[in-house]
Amino acid sequence: MSFESLPIFQHTKYTIREKLVSWGNVYEIFDEKNKKLGSINVKHLTIGTRYTIKSKDEGDIGKIEKKIISLTPTYTIKDEKGKKVGVISKKLIKFGFGEEYVIRDKKNKKIAECDGNFLNRTYDIKAKRKKVAKIHKKYVSVADSYNVDIIDDSAPTYLIVPAVVVIDNEEHEEKKED
């Protein structure tokens, strides 16, 4: 089964919550009925930022790896065999307020953009200028928590779910720098 078609990526609504008590970052992934689908866990004792993507049913299904040397923060998403399935990178130049990310497929072709608005904590995912998904960070939460709505079937859900962790990681990195 390909990474893109795994059951964990076949939902239209997700809640992704950072686990409050854990050794390092652990993001738990839930469906619209609050059933746990899996998690994304930071890997310790590595060079650079690395996460493991785990499915409740399939076990380890992939990785997120931040490039150590890059003009902008860039994360490669890989399947369980280490094959690249996509890339998420922060735009070098942004227009207006908020954050902007580019989502690329395994051939490095741009398939979507993620534009964020820091003030209302919402990120819109657009493919070919059409909104296909929305990420919303909850205001009142002990740990970071995000709701993800897949609006269009063409949305690259297999890259949008990891994008939540990328966005959260980059927000925390920026706060450290300030």
Tokens 């928590």 appear where? 145
pTM, two decimal places: 0.90
CATH number of residue 118's parent domain: 3.20.90.10
In angstroms, how far is the first alpha carbon of the chain from the final one?
43
Over residues 75-124, the pLDDT tens digits come to 999 999 999 999 999 987 766 666 789 999 999 999 999 998 766 789 99
CA 65 to CA 49: how far, in whole Å? 6
Number of compact structural domains in the chain? 1
> pLDDT for 143-168, tens place per residue?
789 999 999 999 999 999 999 999 88
Place of tokens 């979507």: 112
The CA distance from 61 to 131, in Å, is 27
Q: Which domain holds residue 135?
A: 3-177
